Chains A and B, each alone.
Chain A
Amino acid sequence: AQKVTQAQTEISVVEKEDVTLDCVYETRDTTYYLFWYKQPPSGELVFLIRRNSFDEQNEISGRYSWNFQKSTSSFNFTITASQVVDSAVYFCALSGRVGNTGKLIFGQGTTLQVKP
């Protein structure tokens, strides 16, 4: 079975602090994709990143960085120098093997509050 666990329900930081959101996944597939989505208060789902299981290189995009470690089945997301606009719910998600229907399994989400 596939499962995504985001153990942190809520995180509160002060602006300019760095924050890491944890994501642990379970899958029996050898090929899979991992994602992070942001859901601001307005409710839409904003795609942040997709990473396939064969690419363990860490990725940095501006203040965002992602650490994918297959050995621990984790795909953690770090925001450097957080800003108030980063306040949102962040979801980690998993997609199964190529050729499946492409559905995503989401974690429970982590609510990030960045205080000024």
Chain B
Amino acid sequence: EPEVTQTPSHQVTQMGQEVILRCVPISNHLYFYWYRQILGQKVEFLVSFYNNEISEKSEIFDDQFSVERPDGSNFTLKIRSTKLEDSAMYFCASSPLAGTGELFFGEGSRLTVL
């Protein structure tokens, strides 16, 4: 069964460093998402991406964040200068259609900022 894959599963970084989290969505999906879950809290929407551009972003997704689909298969989330409060589990998701909510989540990338 096709699945969304994420790398790395866990990354530890120093405050101020740049981090790139990678995702390979399901191949025929058109909509891509990043969500964040701070430890013990709810899952929060960060950004949605369609047709090579951001279709919606949350207040959390400030100028320190960016997304890219560099090669037609990968979907990346970059945090330019990490802060302690960026420590969280980051989930990538993809969907064949918008609006149906049929999201397929990856297993998450845990980011720890020291």
Contact = CB atoms under 8 A, between A and B. Distances in A.
Interface of A: 33, 35, 37, 43-45, 47, 50, 91, 93, 95-109
Interface stretch (B19-27, B44-52, B64-72, B73-81): B44-52
B12 interface: no
A49 to B, nearest CB: 11
Interface of A is mostly: loop
B56 A103 contact: yes
Q: Considering residues B44, B97, B104, B105, which has the most beta carbons from chain A within 10 angstroms of its beta carbon?
A: B105
B99 A100 contact: yes
B107 A44 contact: yes
Interface residues of B, number: 28
A101 B110 contact: no
Interface of B: 31, 33, 35, 41-45, 48, 50, 55-56, 89, 91, 95, 97-108, 110
B48 A103 contact: yes
A99 B101 contact: no
B31 A101 contact: yes
B43 A102 contact: no
13 contacts: A35-B101, A43-B110, A50-B102, A93-B101, A98-B99, A98-B100, A101-B31, A101-B48, A101-B98, A102-B31, A102-B98, A103-B33, A104-B101
